[in-house]
Amino acid sequence: MSIRPFRDIKRKKTKVINVGKIKIGGDNPISVQSMTNTLTTDIKATINQINEIQNEGADLVRVSCPDESSSKALKEITKYVDVPIIADIHFHYKRAIEAAENGASCLRINPGNIGNEKKIRDVLLAAKDNECSIRIGVNAGSLEKDILDKYKEPCPEALVESALRNIKILEDQDFFNFKISVKSSDVFLSIKAYRQLSEVTNYPLHLGITEAGSFVSGSIKSSIGVGTLLLDGIGDTIRISLSDDPVKEVKIGNEILKSLNLRTKGVKIISCPSCARQGFQVIDTVKILEEKLSHIKTPITLSIIGCVVNGPGEAAMTDIGITGGKNGNNMLYLSGIQSEKVLTDELISRVVKEVEKKASELENN
């Protein structure tokens, strides 16, 4: 059982590209990615963090390659991870070639910043030879000088012009396996730039509000910016940029998609903010359940409501529900129907048991 979405989002149909084993664009699921913050040359730490990011639900992981030792470290790193790696490259074309040759599934570059036509051609040849895709990463903080001189400041038109210039560079070399981003730390600038770019190209778009800030402020900015574009049907892959643990970026990205019914992986918890009417400690219960149910990947809806004001109504629309009652007697709902009373001391273990049972049933059907 799941809540029927009030509004169905009609995604724009874009071209399909391959980033390793992940398909981006078209009707393929919107992918979530994050980026490591370890030193790439610290191979063990980087592998551990990539695996942590993937375990949280990331489809892709980006790794910075600022020097030769970092780009060559990808050869060892990719042996021990099971997620496509995107190499983050700035300016030096040899780093891009090395990354492609050492296991990267995608190169994040600005072709216009790589250098002359020969250098660009060498990078694209390495990408083709190693089945490596590219992301054109336009950023309001690093626009080409002539474009910035033309528009005087970063604006949607400037970001789109930069994107189109870089698209032409790749197309002129018969390279089409790429996606594009036009990021800014300003929510409104980002939204307008992506909307304009979406009107003039069918390549898949990577969404993000760059340098969004700390966990709270960055999550809010990203939810507004990325969420608005997703509601417009724009976007094929997302990254939430936070000054925090990259695992949290994945968590927020997945929650944005789940809130828009664009991703159903895992348990979706509907819970009340709690008040004096609550029959049990809702906030603490939800925190514990989030941790204990994090291993569940099957889409399941769970309502945790502290009292009977909204509890029965929410439970009627979820797979499993708990409504707080008097004297520690709480009502368990299964598939929207009252099942039995559960004592508060037994509530968490019973909910975990029912969710795991439901997950097993769904997986076996």
Q: Are residues 36 and 109 in the same domain?
A: yes
- The per-residue pLDDT for 168 is 94
166 and 63 within one domain: yes
Kindly state whether residues 295 and 245 are assigned to the same domain: no
Question: Which domain does 278 fall in, by range?
Answer: 267-364
Considering the domain architecture, whether residues 235 and 123 belong to the same structural domain is answered as: yes
Residues 239 and 284 in one domain: no
Which of 217, 242, 259 terminates a domain? The answer is 259
Please report the pLDDT score of residue 90 as a whole number.
Answer: 83
Please check whether residue 279 lies inside any domain of the structure: yes
Picking from 259, 284, 318, the residue at the C-terminal end of a domain is: 259
CATH of residue 99's domain is 3.20.20.20
d(CA 238, CA 37): 18
Residue 335 lies in a domain: yes
Q: Are residues 135 and 245 in the same domain?
A: yes
Q: Does 150 lie in the same domain as 176? A: yes
Select from 259, 291, 319 the last residue of a domain. 259
Asked whether the CA dihedral 271, 272, 277, 282 is positive or negative, the reply is positive
CA angle (60, 5, 16) in 5-degree steps: 35
pLDDT confidence of residue 265: 83
Are residues 177 and 42 both part of a single domain? yes
241 shares its domain with 316: no
| CA–CA distances in Å: residue 343 to residues 202, 329, 333, 353, 355 | 55, 5, 14, 15, 17
- CATH number, domain containing residue 348: 3.30.413.10
Cα-based torsion angle of the residue sequence 94, 96, 101, 107 in order, rounded to the nearest 10 degrees: 180
Q: Are 231 and 171 within one domain?
A: yes
Q: What does pLDDT average to in each consecutive run of 10 residues of the chain (365 residues)?
A: 60 96 96 97 98 95 96 97 95 94 95 80 95 94 91 96 94 96 96 98 97 93 97 97 96 94 89 94 96 92 94 93 94 95 96 96 89
The whole-model pTM stands at 0.89
Is 191 found in the same domain as 326? no
In a domain, 9, yes or no: no
Q: How many domains does the chain have?
A: 2
Beta strands 17-19; 267-271: pairing state: unpaired
113 in a domain, yes or no? yes
Helix axes 282-292, 344-364, angle to 10 degrees: 40
Residue 10 inside a domain? The answer is no
Does residue 319 sit in helix, strand or coil? coil
pLDDT for position 7 = 61
Give the whole-angstrom CA distance, residue 51 versus residue 38.
13
- Which pLDDT does position 120 carry in this prediction? 87
| Whole-number Å distance between alpha carbons of 309 and 263 | 29
Q: Is residue 195 in some structural domain? A: yes
**Angle at which helices 43-55 and 246-259 cross, to 10°:** 20
Question: Among the residues of 56-186, which ranges form H helices?
Answer: 68-77, 93-101, 111-114, 117-129, 145-151, 156-172
Per-residue 3-state assignment (H helix, E strand, C coil) for 188-243: HHHHHHHHHHHHHCCCCEEECCCCCCCHHHHHHHHHHHHHHHHHCCCCCEEECCCC
